[in-house]
Structure 1
Amino acid sequence: MESVLDAQGLWEKIKPVTDGAIDEKKNKIARAIIYQALPEDILLQVARNRSAKDIWEALRVRFLGADRVQRARLASLRREFEQLRMQETNTIEEFAGKLSGFVSRYTSLGSTLEDEVLVRKLLDSVPKKYLQIVASIEQYSDLDTMPFEEAIGRLKAYEE
């Protein structure tokens, strides 16, 4: 939704850059775009809000929860991420997909997972049959700057 509003030049109605006057026409367009994306039951709950910013805030609180709840969800997600390990039956592609899923979930909670963390998690979580390639990658590459996709590619090449 943020991308759609930004592409239409309307994201400033949600997160104003300046304290300028509210352009009522842009506010109405932003509100209409948000309404189009909502199911009817949720739409009826936020329709009382007149500004796009107020609607967005109501949705944010509803779906992300209060800051305390959001922090608790993030802590739970971190624990789940730390415990994740690649199974012997998983392919590199499958496990990389799981890690990418965590990136999306972190983002939805307002946090990020850096490539460095993902690369280290990937290399630390693979089964013993990958030990040789992992040792080689760790010895000859800078893991702090290696893109996640590059680590996936190297492991996939070894897997094949």
Structure 2
Amino acid sequence: MKNLSKIVVAAVAAVSTIAVASAASAQTVSPTGPVTVSGQLTQGLNGISLFDTVCNTTFTGVADATGFTLNTITSTRVSGILSCDDGIVLPVRINAISSSQLSIEELVVDTRLGSCSGTDIAVPWDNVNSRVTVPTTAIGFCRLSGTLTVSPATTIN
């Protein structure tokens, strides 16, 4: 029992150190407040391009000092056969890692075939154009890519 408590204390200390290091390296997002994030997303199934669907997508949410929380989504199909108006489970939390990178905390996409999910998904951020690019990212058996612009123009320092 004594060894177990030493292990627990060591684990708590390690987690605390990681949390302090993460907080110290956090970036500042400005301005804060309501945001609109819009652009095109392409969704599909891994390895099956037949189902690729392009959607004009708009998220609304809030920017805070450390990132974004997206609370609503509207999406219209441009091409393809998949639905654009559902699937992404909200809210989605996106953390500012650096002036050129964001991290999606957890992304869950519900489909007729089941749920796809991923955590800590790194995505490039363009400070000059207030734009995030989602490179072709596999999330379980799903695939997502696209470019979204944040309005009002947002800077991460």
> What TM-score do you get using the length of structure 2 for normalisation?
0.23
Relative CO higher for 1 or 2, CA cutoff 8 Å, sep ≥ 6? 2
More strand by share: 2
More helix by share: 1
> What TM-score do you get using the length of structure 1 for normalisation?
0.22
Task: Flag the structure with larger Rg.
Answer: 1
